[in-house]
Amino acid sequence: MATASRKISRRMGRPRNKDVDRRILTAAIELFVRAGWQDFVIEEVARRARVGKASIYLRWSDREALLRDALLAFFTPWPVVPTGSFREELQALVRAVLSELSADIGWSISRVQSDPDIPAGIAQLCRGLIAERVAVVERLVESAKQRGEIPADAPTRLIMETVTGAALGHAGLARYSEPAPHGRDDPDDFARTLVDFLYPAFCRSSG
């Protein structure tokens, strides 16, 4: 499975201001998620980041190089640490997905996938970044099989898609809905409820 090359596109030279770098990358992701590739222009990124265009062009040659590095900066493998308990690992995975999707930057890859004008290089990068995340979950599932927590024939990809898909759907509805009453939007509570609901199905043999 191909993964993304994490070699940065930024131009080399004397050390840059890390705060300015971060502001530019954040502004780039936020603009892309909201406006798409056609309206992803350096002038607007500079305005949002409160820097001059020259500060951006000193670091990146064009808008594609800038978006590439912004995606690499924010779209990282989910920080799910193996604990020896598949149930706990799944809950941590759900919390990681919800945490990321609580901000605009969490929707960057979805925007890449749905934007018909996206450059081929960015689309290829997106596929590699997703592959990194798939590999993280696959390792968790395979470890759970080896420990005997779930059957050896449990469908690895389906487990991943079911858990992450439910978290994605929950975050998407929450993004455009009124806050749920009585704290039902609490990520920890949702993670426990979702995993408790799905876990018995994961433990059944598909044979």
Q: pLDDT tens for the chain, 207 residues: list them.
A: 555 554 555 544 445 678 999 999 999 999 999 999 999 999 999 999 999 999 999 999 999 999 999 999 988 778 888 899 999 999 999 999 998 888 777 788 888 988 999 999 999 999 998 898 889 899 999 999 999 999 999 999 999 999 999 998 998 887 766 655 444 568 899 999 999 999 999 998 765
Domain boundaries, given as residue ranges, for the chain: 18-73, 75-202
Dihedral-angle region of residue 4 (phi above 0 means left; psi in -120 to 50 means alpha; beta otherwise) = beta
Domains 18-73 and 75-202 share a fold: no
Architecture of domain 75-202: Orthogonal Bundle (1.10)
Q: What contacts 158, CB < 8 A, 6 or more positions away?
A: none
Provide the CATH topology of domain 18-73. Answer: Arc Repressor Mutant, subunit A (1.10.10)
Are 80 and 138 within 8 A, CB to CB?
no
Q: What contacts 67, CB < 8 A, 6 or more positions away?
A: 28, 32, 40, 122
Closest CA to 135 of 163, 168, 160, 110: 160
